[in-house]
């Protein structure tokens, strides 16, 4: 007989895998899917971010450390957000002066019996708000005369407002040489007619060194 006729009949069919492998394979795939889905749900439950995704790829102890670090950061951020809502808007220290638009600092009333107190009480009669304008007046006359009624300058300027010449103050009273109230009355009238307000006069003084 020829060679090809000597084959065993049992070898002519195609080989088939054992039937028990199919259930085992299906079970393994199902188990993998369950584990994957469970891990995904756990990560979603812990509000995963980039850190959680990285943690899932790391060994056990390192993964827990990453997740704990992320949780602490989220706690800090939540606390900061609540704190920002509780903090109020900062208050303005000094409101703009309504008379001139120049920023001024509210000034308390001076001690009674002083030249400053005389000026404070007299300012309203010239249309000046003492609480907002006195600080500017104080800045000018502190530098000009130190609020001394007998302050004299070699140029001929005299008194608290340093009128030049001092005799100009006679229009406010004959006692202009010795009476602080007369000098202040003249000085306030001068500021009103030339600058409008003490704060405008102070702005000019700052730019020029005189008023």
Q: Do 128 and 81 fall into the same domain?
A: no
The whole-angstrom separation of Cα 211 and Cα 2 is: 136
Listed in sequence order, the residues at least 6 apart from 186 whose beta carbon sits closer than 8 Å to its beta carbon are: 161, 163, 168, 169, 171, 172, 173, 176
The conformation of residue 148, written as its DSSP 8-state character, comes to -
Q: Do 48 and 131 fall into the same domain?
A: no
Q: Any alpha helices (H) in the chain, and if so which ranges?
A: 21-45, 50-56, 60-86, 115-123, 130-144, 180-194, 198-208
What pLDDT is stored for residue 102 in this prediction? 45
Residue 100 lies in a domain: no
Q: Is the Cβ–Cβ distance between 180 and 119 less than 8 Å?
A: no
Q: Is the Cβ–Cβ distance between 190 and 164 less than 8 Å?
A: no
Q: Which two tokens stand for residue 8?
A: 């065993």
Domain assignment of residue 33, given as a range: 19-86
Q: Do 127 and 197 fall into the same domain?
A: yes
What pLDDT is stored for residue 27 in this prediction? 64
Residue 73 lies in a domain: yes
Nearest by Cα to 190 from 140, 149, 154, 135: 140
Residue 123 lies in a domain: yes
What pLDDT is stored for residue 18 in this prediction? 55
Residue 134 lies in a domain: yes
Q: Do 119 and 81 fall into the same domain?
A: no
Residue 110 lies in a domain: no
The whole-angstrom separation of Cα 53 and Cα 194 is: 75
Residue 103 lies in a domain: no
What pLDDT is stored for residue 175 in this prediction? 98
Q: Do 119 and 82 fall into the same domain?
A: no
What pLDDT is stored for residue 14 in this prediction? 45
Number of separate domains in the chain: 2
The whole-angstrom separation of Cα 94 and Cα 85 is: 25
Residue 36 lies in a domain: yes
Nearest by Cα to 111 from 119, 101, 102: 119
What pLDDT is stored for residue 108 in this prediction? 81
Residue 54 lies in a domain: yes
- Mean pLDDT, consecutive 10-residue stretches, the chain (211 aa), reads 42 50 60 60 49 48 62 60 40 36 62 95 97 97 97 96 97 97 98 98 97 97
Q: Do 26 and 80 fall into the same domain?
A: yes
Q: Do 120 and 200 fall into the same domain?
A: yes
Q: Do 194 and 140 fall into the same domain?
A: yes
Q: Do 119 and 199 fall into the same domain?
A: yes
């Amino acid at each position: 007989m020829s060679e090809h006729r000597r084959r065993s009949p049992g070898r002519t069919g195609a080989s088939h895998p054992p039937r028990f492998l199919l259930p085992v394979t299906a079970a393994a795939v199902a188990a993998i899917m369950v584990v994957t889905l469970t891990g995904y749900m756990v990560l979603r439950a812990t509000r995963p971010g980039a850190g959680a995704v990285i943690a899932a790829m790391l060994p056990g102890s390192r993964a827990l450390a990453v997740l704990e670090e992320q949780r602490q950061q989220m706690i800090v951020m939540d606390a900061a957000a609540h704190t920002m809502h509780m903090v109020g808007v900062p208050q303005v220290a000094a409101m703009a002066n309504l008379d001139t638009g120049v920023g001024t600092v509210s000034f308390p009333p001076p001690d009674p019996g002083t030249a400053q107190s005389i000026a404070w009480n007299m300012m309203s009669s010239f249309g000046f708000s003492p609480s907002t304008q006195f600080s500017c007046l104080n800045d000018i006359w502190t530098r000009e005369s130190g609020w001394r009624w007998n302050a004299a300058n070699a140029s001929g300027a005299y008194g608290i407002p340093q009128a030049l010449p001092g005799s100009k103050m006679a229009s406010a009273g004959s006692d202009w040489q010795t009476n602080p109230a007369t000098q202040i009355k003249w000085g306030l009238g001068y500021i009103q007619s030339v600058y409008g307000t003490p704060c405008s006069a102070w702005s000019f003084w700052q730019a020029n060194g005189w008023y």
